[in-house]
Homo-oligomer: A and B are copies of this chain.
Amino acid sequence: MPNRALFENVWPIASFALLGTCFNAVAIGFSLIGIAQIMPFSVQFTTIQLFLFSSLISACDPVAVIAFFEEIHVNAFLYVSVMGEALFNDSVVVMLYQMFSKFLAMGEENLLPVHYAQGVLSLLFIACGGALLGAICGFVAAFITKHSHRADTANPTTVFLFAYISFLLAELFGISSIISTTVYGMVTKQYVKENTEWQTSMSISYFVRVVSQASNAVTYLFLGLVLISIPSHYDVWFIIWTLVFCTIFRIIAVIVQCLYFNRFHYPRYTVIDQFILCFGGLRGAIAYGLALDIPDSVEAKPMFATTCLMVIYFTVFIQGVPMPYIVQWLKIKREHHDSNLMAGFHNICNNYTRSAIEAIIGQKCMHSCCQKYERINAKYMRPALIRDKKRQEFDASRIVRNYSKAAVSNAIAEMKFTDLNKTKSDQIELRERHGKEN
């Protein structure tokens, strides 16, 4: 997850996650109720019960999105848009789901407007609480790794342990565990990488990938197993209408929001970007988990669960599987890591200049916020959480790091491998190694 790209596009992502998901949940809910008035489905349900279903079905699943987007390497802007939405709409879905299950327990006739306000307020608690919890766990883990460099092989255990603790605590307090774990990862990444040996941080990030792939496999194994092991109730029309509304309202939400953001946010969402955003709304195991959590007293629960499973299968097989081919066919700009000295150097200079211009014209934009955060980070957090760091006003390490990276790749490029019958590809591989390593 590229932290900076995430911060720079925080408004579109927040909008997709918050407004988009709410719109989807409400629109799908009302549409299905409308259809039910015209042609009743095989099982009866109340309005609140249906909203419970519509809120869980409108959640994009980060696991499914990672599974398909991780390997494609689309550009950072598109990646954080799809990925950020999937990660952060978890809080919205949890909020909506908790709100409607509370309404269900209270009974529809006892609902007052104040309850709706309470529900919306709890969103703040669920999202911000998750972020805060993740950040605290991240700082603690970073602080521990700062002082445990003499037992370097214990550091991966610390990192994984606190990730799990942040997940467990979030579940315990009923706040968003996905946001908590995501923020934990974003926080620890910056500090742990500098506190540990390069082998340690590389192994950690590599094993996160291995474990996430393995968990992905287990998740889809589970989704395959439940199809035949759990009592199901197929209502073909309910499935079809749900699929239709999921698709239509996602397209509407994406287009409307992109139109709005394209007016003043840079970079713009092109038509192709919008197409991928529509296509990226993959549903996954979280929705199904919530469907199984619906109280058994709800008569339509088997129908909801089966429909949810069908929507997951549809989005994964019809939308997810062809994704790499579509990305290739549409010639979407891929991410390329540029180890070129000048490009990297000027990119950083450019960012400083932009924030300077923002400061001169007196506008507080994303760039100056990022720069401000980096200053605070360099002055207080990095010295506290990173080994052998002195307090410094201006964190020049990124420029220095960029320079030494280029210098290493230069030195290796100058090596004469020809007398060893080394091919060109070997040299490129070596250069890549050293590029990644620094």
Could you tell me which A residues sit within 8 Å of B by CB distance? Answer: 153-154, 156-157, 198-200, 202-203, 206-207, 209-210, 213-214, 400, 403-404, 407-408, 411-412, 414-415, 417, 420, 422, 430, 433-434, 436-437
Cross-chain pairs A/B with CB under 8 angstroms, 10 sampled: A153-B213, A199-B436, A200-B206, A203-B207, A203-B210, A207-B207, A407-B417, A408-B412, A411-B412, A434-B434
Query: Is the pair B210, A156 in contact by a Cβ cutoff of 8 Å?
Result: yes
Pair B437/A420 contact, Cβ less than 8 Å: no
- A412: chain B residues at CB < 8 Å are 408, 411
Chain B residues with CB below 8 A from A437, complex form: 433, 437
Are B433 and A210 interface neighbours, CB within 8 A?
Answer: no
Is A213 touching B154 in the complex (CB atoms < 8 A)? yes
| Contact indicator A210/B411 (Cβ below 8 Å) | no
Nearest CB of B to A101, in Å: 37
| Nearest chain B CB to A396 CB, angstrom units | 11
CB contacts (< 8 Å) of A156 on chain B: these are 206-207, 210
Inter-subunit contact B209/A206 (CB<8 Å): no
Q: Given that A153-B209, A157-B210, A411-B414 are contacting pairs, would A198 and B403 also be in contact in the complex, using a CB cutoff of 8 Å?
A: no
Beta-carbon nearest neighbor of A212 in chain B: B153
Given contacts A199-B206, A206-B203, A207-B156, contact A420 B408 (CB under 8 A): no
Residues of B within 8 A of A200 (CB): 206
Contacts of A209 on B, CB cut-off 8 Å? 153
Find chain B residues with CB under 8 A from A400 CB: 420
CB distance from A269 to the nearest CB of B (A): 31
List the B residue with the shortest CB-CB distance to A156. Answer: B210
Chain B residues with Cβ under 8 A from A153's Cβ?
A: 206, 209-210, 213
Tell me which residues across on chain B come within 8 A of A203, comparing CB atoms: 202-203, 206-207, 210
How many angstroms between the C-alpha atoms of A404 and B137 in the bound complex? 43
Chain B residues near A434: list those with CB within 8 A.
434
Task: Point out the residues of chain B lying under 8 angstroms from A411, CB to CB.
Answer: 411-412, 414-415
Query: Closest CB of chain B to A219's CB: distance in Å?
Result: 15
User: Could you list 7 further interchain pairs (A-B, Cβ under 8 angstroms) beyond the known A404-B422, A407-B417?
Assistant: A153-B213, A154-B210, A202-B203, A203-B210, A404-B420, A407-B415, A437-B437
Closest Cβ of chain B to A150, distance in Å, is: 10
Interface centre among A414, A415, A436 (most CB of B within 10 A): A415
A407 to B426, CA, bound (A): 14
Interface centre among A157, A199, A209, by most chain B C-beta atoms within 10 angstroms, is A199
Chain B residues with CB below 8 A from A154, complex form: 210, 213
Measured in the bound complex, the distance between the Cα atoms of B419 and A403 in whole Å is: 11
Chain B contacts for A417, CB-based, 8 A:
404, 407
A427 to chain B, nearest CB (A): 11
User: Considering residues A200, A203, A422, which has the most beta carbons from chain B within 10 angstroms of its beta carbon?
Assistant: A203
Chain B positions within 8 Å of A415 at CB level: 407-408, 411
Inter-chain contacts of A422 with B (CB < 8 A): 404
Q: In the complex, which of the residues A153, A213, A214, A408 has the most CB atoms of chain B within 10 Å of its own CB atom?
A: A153
**7 smallest beta-carbon distances between A and B, as pairs:** A203-B206, A203-B203, A411-B411, A411-B415, A156-B210, A153-B210, A153-B209
